Amino acid sequence: MLHRVRYPVLLCAITLSWAGCGSTDRSPRAAGPSREPQLVAASADRIRNVVRRPGATAVVVNVWATWCTPCRQEFPDLMRLDREYRARGLRLVLVSSDFEDQAHEARRFLARQGVDFASYLKTGNDMEFINGLDPRWTGALPATFVYDGHGTLRNFHEGRTTFAALERQVVAAMNGLDSPETSVGDSIGKETAP
């Protein structure tokens, strides 16, 4: 139990220069000594709470890591999705699975990608985190989950995705529909990873 408490505390310490660890502020940050976004330690429970928070018409959760090539490749598509659909109620939830002592690299990457809202760092046991988001997820990265405004999972995808696929899934989720391409395992990532 102790280690579950210690990591969030550690992460809070790491992110001292930002507002409290519970913040989910999505407004652009004021110019300061650093433009790196807040990175908050998060279990699957915490991510599910962020998904269920009222006010979104669709929520996309993307689990990524700085060293993961397909994750880096799809990141611009996620950011484009955020730019084009945020005003329509899309909530983009980015969860880094970098090791906790590499959090600074994750923040630097997010800053370079233009992320200006609070983001998350996976903490705790891998299996609890994976199954807590979706038991179908094998643990491969990247993984993308699309929820509707009620927090119901509408689409799940392992491997690299594309803007077109994400857009279809988000529009479907905004209309309370599943999209046809829910996939596990051999997927876009396998077919198109360079």
Query: What's the closest the beta carbon of residue 189 comes to another protein, in angstroms?
Result: 5
The encoded tokens of residue 99 equal 């090791």
Find the part of the chain contacting another protein (CB under 8 A) among 7-15, 17-25, 39-47, 65-73.
65-73
Interface stretch with another protein, choices 14-22, 34-42, 112-120, 177-185 (CB under 8 A): 177-185
Phi/psi for 36 (5° steps) reads -70, 135
Q: Which is nearer to another protein, 49 or 125 (CB)?
A: 125
Contact 79, 166 (CB under 8 A): no
Q: How far is the CB of 23 from another protein (least distance, A)?
A: 25
Does position 162 interact with another protein (CB under 8 A)? The reply is no
Q: Which stretch binds another protein (CB under 8 A): 12-20, 66-74, 113-121, 166-174?
A: 66-74
114 exposure class (CB count in 10 Å sphere: 0-12, 13-18, 19+): middle
Query: Which residues pair with residue 152 across a beta bridge?
Result: none
Does residue 142 have a cis bond before it (omega within 30 degrees)? yes
Q: Does 10 bind another protein (CB under 8 A)?
A: no
DSSP secondary structure code for residue 8 in this structure: H
Amino acid present at 29: R
Q: Which residues make up the interface to another protein (CB under 8 A)? A: 3, 65, 67-70, 97, 99-100, 122, 125-127, 129-131, 136-142, 158-160, 180-181, 183-191, 193-194
